[in-house]
């Protein structure tokens, strides 16, 4: 049982480039989330999804886009990368309202 | 005011010590509460949920005080392997999809 899998683990982007961070889970969870964590800071919610075909913005959605075509996959798209997007990105899922998250191992992104 | 506030620490304690962390939250409509553990350069992992009546899991005890709007985590008989950052997390009654994370409290357990 793989849980939540994120790829890539590390990436360096140049300013203005685009990329997609992949996230997939095999637990049949309806709820999926993208967070970013800056050094010494708490996690900030970027986007979330409560099921296939349904997505919504979190606290810091600007500069990002998501899609949820299947229950398993929830990719995060960065368009026109900026240095302010240098961060660690975590994908998470959970099965229901009162349950905690299962996190992926993260993607460390540096924009130079 | 931040949704969730924690003392960043670090808390430096010897092995075998008992250590307690507090976390305060600002929204009285907060509904669910969790403690997560995050090792350096790793993802957060769920340590325990926090129930209204308090709950215990081995050496770990979590308490909730709704009147004063804080939760606590007590670790007894600290082990070297307990060294990590402990994150306090709350959700709201009317928006359970938004988990609010504290910045974390760093614990260093020394031999």
- A interface with B, Cβ–Cβ < 8 A, is 31, 33, 35, 40-43, 45, 48, 50, 56, 58-59, 90, 97-98, 100-106
Contacts of A50 in chain B (CB under 8 A): 97
More confident position, B22 or B2: B22
Q: For the stretch B30-42, what's the b/e string if a residue is b when 16 or more beta carbons lie within 10 angstroms of its beta carbon?
A: bebbbbbbbeeee
The whole-number pLDDT of residue A97 equals 67
3-state secondary structure of A83: helix
pLDDT < 50 stretches in chain A: none
For residue B96, name the pLDDT band (cuts at 50, 70, 90).
Answer: low
Q: What is the mean pLDDT of chain B?
A: 91
User: pLDDT grade, residue B10 (50/70/90)?
Assistant: very high
* pLDDT higher than 90, residue B76: yes
In 3D, which of A20, A88, A62 has the Cα closest to residue B41?
A: A88
Query: What are phi and psi for residue B23, nearest 5 degrees?
Result: -145, 130
Rounded distance between C-alpha atoms, residue A104 and residue B91, angstroms? 20
- Give the C-alpha separation, A92 to A104, whole Å: 6
Could you identify the residue written with the tokens 């203005």? A16
């Amino acid at each position: 049982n793989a849980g939540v899998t994120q790829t890539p683990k590390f990436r360096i982007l140049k300013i203005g480039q685009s990329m997609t961070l992949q996230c997939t889970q095999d637990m049949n969870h309806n709820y999926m989330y993208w967070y970013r964590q800056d050094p010494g800071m708490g996690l900030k919610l970027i986007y979330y999804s409560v099921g296939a075909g349904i997505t919504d913005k979190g606290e810091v959605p600007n500069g990002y886009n998501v899609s949820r075509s299947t229950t398993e996959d929830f990719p995060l798209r960065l368009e026109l990368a900026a240095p302010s997007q240098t961060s660690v990105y975590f994908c998470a899922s959970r099965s229901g309202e009162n349950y905690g998250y299962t996190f992926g191992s993260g993607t460390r992104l540096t924009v130079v | 005011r931040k949704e969730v506030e924690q003392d960043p620490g670090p808390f430096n304690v010897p092995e075998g010590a008992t250590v307690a962390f507090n976390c305060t939250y600002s929204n009285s409509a907060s509904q669910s509460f969790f403690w997560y553990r995050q090792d350096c350069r790793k993802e957060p992992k769920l340590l325990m949920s926090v129930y209204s009546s308090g709950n215990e899991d081995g050496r770990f005890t979590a308490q909730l005080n709704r009147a004063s709007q804080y939760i606590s985590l007590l670790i007894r008989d600290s082990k070297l392997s307990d060294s990590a950052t402990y994150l306090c997390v709350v959700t709201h009654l009317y928006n359970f999809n938004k988990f609010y994370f504290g910045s974390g409290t760093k614990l260093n357990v020394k031999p």
